[in-house]
Structure 1
Amino acid sequence: MHKKELNRLRVVLAEQKVTNKWLAEQIGKSQTTISRWSKNEMQPSIETLNYIASVLKIDIRDLLNPTLKKYE
């Protein structure tokens, strides 16, 4: 079964040229937790996503994959 990706954390961290370690230090979580979020093994809460977005100075929507398909 194909695992559905729910967040874009890994992509955003790469775009901003920051590491899991840096983010972990900024938000008070372990590197392992950040890694598991980045691999979509587990998902952060919406409150944590909002905090991550504020730390990265981005819109929270940039951390999420769209779930609705646009129809023409």
Structure 2
Amino acid sequence: MNRIKAVLEQKGIKQKWLAKELGKSYNMVNAYAQNRQQPRLEILNEIATILDVDVRELIEPTKK
């Protein structure tokens, strides 16, 4: 599971903007944000760079 949607909301950024910055379709970014599809690690790193966050902020921890 990823936290892309939560991070976008925290930063006040729209999925359409992220899609444009990534060069991906809105539908693809929406699938990532809704956890219907998980991005490859390269894409996750690119999203983190665009959002100026540590990539770990985009992933739900598996252990508490």
Large movers: runs of 4+ above 3 Å: none
Structure 2 residue runs without a partner (length 5+): none
Residue in 2 aligned with 1:43?
38
Write the distance in 1 (CA, Å) between the matches of 2:42 and 2:63: 22
Residue in 1 aligned with 2:17?
22
Write the distance in 2 (CA, Å) between the matches of 1:11 and 1:68: 19
- 1:8-64: CA deviation from partner (whole Å, max 9, x where unpaired): 000000001010100000010000001111111000001100000000100000000
TM-score after normalising by structure 2: 0.97
Q: In the comparison of the two structures, how many residue pairs are matched?
A: 64
Q: 1:52 aligns with which of 41, 47, 52?
A: 47
**CA-CA distance at 1:68 after TM superposition:** 1.6
RMSD: 0.6
Counterpart of 2:46 in structure 1: which amino acid?
Answer: Y
Higher fraction of helix: 2
User: RCO greater where, 1 or 2, for CA within 8 Å and sep 6 or more?
Assistant: 2
Counterpart of 1:30 in structure 2: which amino acid?
Answer: S
